[in-house]
């Protein structure tokens, strides 16, 4: 085969990998973020109406947190099969499960109809959502990272993070339109269900896109060389346990920043400040639109300057910006609320945009799906899962936003420390199997299977 044809095939494989990960991840995060937005605006009234508004919202956020708790379980399951049978097959399963679960939420009866059965069913479905998403992110990131050329790996892999932003933008936009077109009663009665039911389209589109994506060259090479691990999770825990902790360290604080700005502020602005819910939704949509650009921009900078420096810029910038967020929001000016959110999300982009490639590069190929997925999802429990709940609790206890700001700044300071303790991986050989993935310490080869 000529060099030109080989190059064309490689470029086509990269394009398909990016498209498959971007579209699939966008659709899955649409489902997941939709739940978070609805938890902030709707679920306290539909599923917890017997409690006063802020307490009902707190309970709704706890159901939101349930999905985070089950995500590591999904990461272990998906990681095992993703490292054993391939990235592509697992990603097909995750998108179907997520889509079906989200449609089911749209069909749930309310508390007024079936009583306590309604919130119980909500929690069960949320568990299923968490399992599906637990395997989605790692597979989507690897589909790009293991196809991408080394010099552009950060930039290209960041599109899996762009998918998260697109999902947030779509879910927020649909709820924004429905809430703007309908009366409060109509929105609570049936309008909030429409965005969930639209996930039926998600399943069809996602399957079509992902069927066209090729398996990654790295996994194909592992399989061809009989280096597929029999027990990838056990290999991960034996060979790179500290890298899992490093991932949690660089991830959790960034999650807390994000969910404070996107989920908690929905409640704070609409309930504590008494502004229309369209105001924080508008800020969230503008912020998500900005991150379509800022994620790849910071990731491209990491291809030139390294993963660690860019992450530190985001962490230090977040600490400097957080004290300004609530003073801006408390003005009740729509413009200044948008400014507060945009400033926070800009620095968040520096941290989150780099994480996909940095996390993938940290782990050895034979257990990379397990490592990337488990580290990422464990960080979600420590970070995003409880961030809105903790923020609401701090607000209730102190009747002040100052403890919330301190909480976020401490979390982001931990990101900076963890980044300093995590090795730089720019230019790493992702196909190299032993001896380089854990601070250069030599290790025995991974267990393998020939099937």
Where residue 80 falls among pLDDT bands split at 50, 70, 90? very high
Distance, in Å, from the CA atom of 299 to the CA atom of 306, rounded to the nearest integer, reads 9
Is the confidence at residue 343, as pLDDT, over 80?
yes
Report the top-level CATH class of 10-216+223-421. mainly alpha
pLDDT for residue 359: 96
Distance, in Å, from the CA atom of 367 to the CA atom of 265, rounded to the nearest integer, reads 38
pLDDT digits (tens, 9 = 90+) for 20-49: 788 777 877 787 777 777 777 778 778 877
Q: Where are the alpha helices (DSSP H) in 107-213?
A: 111-114, 117-145, 153-157, 159-181, 184-186, 193-197, 199-211
Q: Count H helices and E strands in the chain, helices first.
A: 21, 0
Is there a contact between 140 and 75 (Cβ–Cβ < 8 Å)? Answer: no
Is there a contact between 50 and 42 (Cβ–Cβ < 8 Å)? Answer: no
Q: What is the mean pLDDT of residues 213-239?
A: 89
Distance, in Å, from the CA atom of 222 to the CA atom of 372, rounded to the nearest integer, reads 17
134 three-class SS = helix
For the chain, give every domain's residue range.
Answer: 10-216+223-421
Tell me how far CA of residue 182 lies from CA of 33, 108, 271, 285, 359, in angstroms: 21, 20, 19, 19, 43
Tell me how far CA of residue 291 lies from CA of 346, 347, 383, in angstroms: 7, 10, 20
What is the share, in percent, of the chain residues with pLDDT greater than 90? Answer: 43
pLDDT digits (tens, 9 = 90+) for 45-79: 788 776 666 666 677 777 767 777 888 999 999 99
pLDDT for residue 317: 97
Which two structure tokens, joined as six digits, stand for 244? Answer: 């899992």
Distance, in Å, from the CA atom of 233 to the CA atom of 76, rounded to the nearest integer, reads 7
Tally of CB atoms within 10 A around 181: 10
Whether the CA torsion 110, 266, 384, 338 is positive or negative: it is positive
Cβ-based neighbours of 290, under 8 Å, separated by 6 or more: 342, 345, 346, 349
Is the confidence at residue 173, as pLDDT, over 70?
yes
Is there a contact between 192 and 38 (Cβ–Cβ < 8 Å)? Answer: yes
Is the confidence at residue 446, as pLDDT, over 60?
no
The more confidently predicted of residues 321 and 450 is: 321
Phi, psi of 60 (to 5 degrees): -65, -40
Is there a contact between 68 and 193 (Cβ–Cβ < 8 Å)? Answer: no
Which two structure tokens, joined as six digits, stand for 316? Answer: 């230090």
State the first-to-last Cα distance of the chain, in angstroms, to the nearest integer: 28
pTM of structure:
0.83
The more confidently predicted of residues 199 and 140 is: 140
Where residue 434 falls among pLDDT bands split at 50, 70, 90? very low
Q: What is the mean pLDDT of residues 415-427?
A: 96
Phi, psi of 214 (to 5 degrees): -85, 155
Average pLDDT across the chain, whole number: 85
pLDDT for residue 437: 42
Is the confidence at residue 390, as pLDDT, over 50?
yes
Where residue 358 falls among pLDDT bands split at 50, 70, 90? very high
Cβ-based neighbours of 438, under 8 Å, separated by 6 or more: 239, 240, 242, 243
pLDDT digits (tens, 9 = 90+) for 178-225: 877 888 788 878 888 888 888 888 778 778 888 888 888 888 888 888
The more confidently predicted of residues 407 and 130 is: 407
Which two structure tokens, joined as six digits, stand for 294? Answer: 């800022």
The more confidently predicted of residues 227 and 418 is: 418
pLDDT for residue 155: 96
pLDDT digits (tens, 9 = 90+) for 262-313: 888 888 998 889 898 788 888 988 998 999 999 999 999 999 999 999 999 9
């Amino acid at each position: 085969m000529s060099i030109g044809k080989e190059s064309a095939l490689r470029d086509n494989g990269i394009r398909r990998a990016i498209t498959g990960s971007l579209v699939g991840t966008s659709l899955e995060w649409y489902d997941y973020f939709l739940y978070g937005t609805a938890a902030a605006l709707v679920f306290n009234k539909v599923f917890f109406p017997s409690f006063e508004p802020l307490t009902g919202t707190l309970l709704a956020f706890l159901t939101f947190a349930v999905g985070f708790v089950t995500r590591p379980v999904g990461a272990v399951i998906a990681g095992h099969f993703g490292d054993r049978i391939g990235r592509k097959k697992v990603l097909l399963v995750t998108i179907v499960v997520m889509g079906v679960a989200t449609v089911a939420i749209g069909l749930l009866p309310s508390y007024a109809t079936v009583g306590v059965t309604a919130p119980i069913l909500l929690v069960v479905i949320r568990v299923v959502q968490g399992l599906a998403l637990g395997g989605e992110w790692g597979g989507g990131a690897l589909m790009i990272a293991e196809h991408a050329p080394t010099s552009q790996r950060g930039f290209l892999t960041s599109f899996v993070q762009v998918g998260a932003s697109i999902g947030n933008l779509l879910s927020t936009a649909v709820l924004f339109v429905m809430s703007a077109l309908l009366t409060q009663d109509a929105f609570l009665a049936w309008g909030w269900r429409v965005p969930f039911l639209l996930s039926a389209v998600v399943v069809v589109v996602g399957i079509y896109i992902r069927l066209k994506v090729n398996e990654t060259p790295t996994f194909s090479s592992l399989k061809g060389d009989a280096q597929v691990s029999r027990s990838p999770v056990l290999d991960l825990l034996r060979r790179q346990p500290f890298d899992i902790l490093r991932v949690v360290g660089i991830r959790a604080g960034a999650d807390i920043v994000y969910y404070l700005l996107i989920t908690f502020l929905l409640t704070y602005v609409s309930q504590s400040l008494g502004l229309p819910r369209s105001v924080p939704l508008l800020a969230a949509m503008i912020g998500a639109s900005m991150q379509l650009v800022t994620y790849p921009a910071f990731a491209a900078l990491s291809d030139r300057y390294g993963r660690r420096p860019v992450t530190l810029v985001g962490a230090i910038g977040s600490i400097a910006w957080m004290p300004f967020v609530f003073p801006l929001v408390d003005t009740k000016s729509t413009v200044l609320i948008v400014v507060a959110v945009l400033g926070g999300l800009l620095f968040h982009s520096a941290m989150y945009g780099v994480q996909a490639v940095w996390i993938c590069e940290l782990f050895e190929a034979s257990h990379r799906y397990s490592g990337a997925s488990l580290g990422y999802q464990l960080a979600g429990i420590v970070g995003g899962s409880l961030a809105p709940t903790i923020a609401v609790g701090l607000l209730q206890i102190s009747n002040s936003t100052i403890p919330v700001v301190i909480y976020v700044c401490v979390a982001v300071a931990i990101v900076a420390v963890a980044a300093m303790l995590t090795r730089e991986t720019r230019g790493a050989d992702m196909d190299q199997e032993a001896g380089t993935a854990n601070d250069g310490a030599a290790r025995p080869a991974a267990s393998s299977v020939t099937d």
